[in-house]
């Protein structure tokens, strides 16, 4: 099982070619085999400036154990989170309030929380660890779930700045997303959301 190596990875985001934010994602590989991903970002969404912090804890099999996030935007603060126990996810805070979400039609949970990247950074490693097994995405900020359908037949056009050795992962949740990553390390180099004109690229 491969998970991204310990380190700090910086990403910059653009929407329709215009700068929209930046974030720093730190991956910690713990002695017990678990992984912790922390994120600190800032940016502008629909003209509103904000900051965000999030922490995602993964078990030894890369399944999510817990997640918390704090977002400040437009003078308002929003906290949300989720815990995972077997086949049940429980979300707190956020825009949807507390929710209990069963693992229906899938074998694993993943965290895909709005514009925050931590869960997306873990996703290629999770999909590789669970080949062919369906996953259910949890968005704690909304208190919602969505099926994550991997499109193995997709052939996205490689962006000019993506390394030649990178593999791609295309999937549909609420929107179509393409991730480009190093298959040897599972480090994500770019995340594209074509329908929104959004590109998040690793700068270091």
Band of pLDDT at residue 189, cut at 50, 70 and 90: very high
Give yes or no for residue 37 having a pLDDT over 80. Answer: yes
Poorest-pLDDT segment among 7-11, 15-19, 54-58, 61-65 = 15-19
Q: Which tokens in the block code for residue 1? A: 């099982």
**What are the tens digits of pLDDT across the range 77-98?**
999 999 999 999 999 998 888 9
Does residue 159 have a pLDDT over 90? yes
Q: Are 127 and 135 in contact (CB under 8 A)?
A: yes
Least confident stretch, 114-118, 121-125, 180-184: 114-118
Mean pLDDT of the chain: 93
Residue 173 has pLDDT above 70, yes or no: no
Q: For the residues 4-13, what does the mean pLDDT come to? A: 95
List of E strands, the chain: 7-15, 18-29, 35-45, 48-58, 64-73, 76-85, 88-93, 99-102, 108-111, 135-139, 144-150, 167-172, 176-181, 188-193, 198-202
Q: Which two tokens stand for residue 70?
A: 């704090």
Q: What pLDDT does residue 48 have?
A: 85
Q: What is the pLDDT of residue 204?
A: 79
Residue 174 pLDDT more than 70? no
Domains in the chain: boundaries: 7-202
In this predicted structure, the answer to whether residue 202 has a pLDDT above a threshold of 80 is yes
């Amino acid at each position: 099982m491969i998970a991204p190596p310990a380190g700090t990875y910086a990403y910059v985001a653009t929407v329709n070619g215009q700068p929209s934010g930046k974030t720093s994602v730190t991956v910690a590989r713990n002695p017990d085999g678990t992984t912790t991903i922390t994120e600190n970002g800032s940016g502008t969404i629909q003209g509103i400036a904000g900051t965000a912090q999030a922490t995602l804890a993964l078990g030894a099999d890369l399944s999510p154990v817990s997640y918390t996030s704090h977002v400040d935007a437009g003078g308002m603060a929003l906290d949300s989170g989720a815990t995972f126990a077997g086949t049940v996810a429980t979300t707190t805070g956020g825009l949807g309030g507390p929710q209990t979400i069963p693992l229906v039609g899938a074998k694993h949970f993943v965290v895909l929380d709005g514009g925050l990247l931590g869960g997306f950074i873990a996703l290629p490693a999770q999909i590789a660890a669970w080949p062919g097994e369906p996953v259910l995405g949890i968005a704690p900020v909304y208190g919602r779930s969505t099926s994550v359908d991997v499109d193995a037949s997709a052939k996205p056009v490689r962006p000019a700045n993506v390394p030649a050795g990178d593999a791609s992962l295309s999937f549909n949740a609420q929107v179509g997303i393409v991730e480009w990553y190093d298959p040897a390390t599972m480090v994500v180099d770019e995340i594209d959301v074509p329908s929104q004109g959004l590109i998040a690229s690793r700068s270091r």
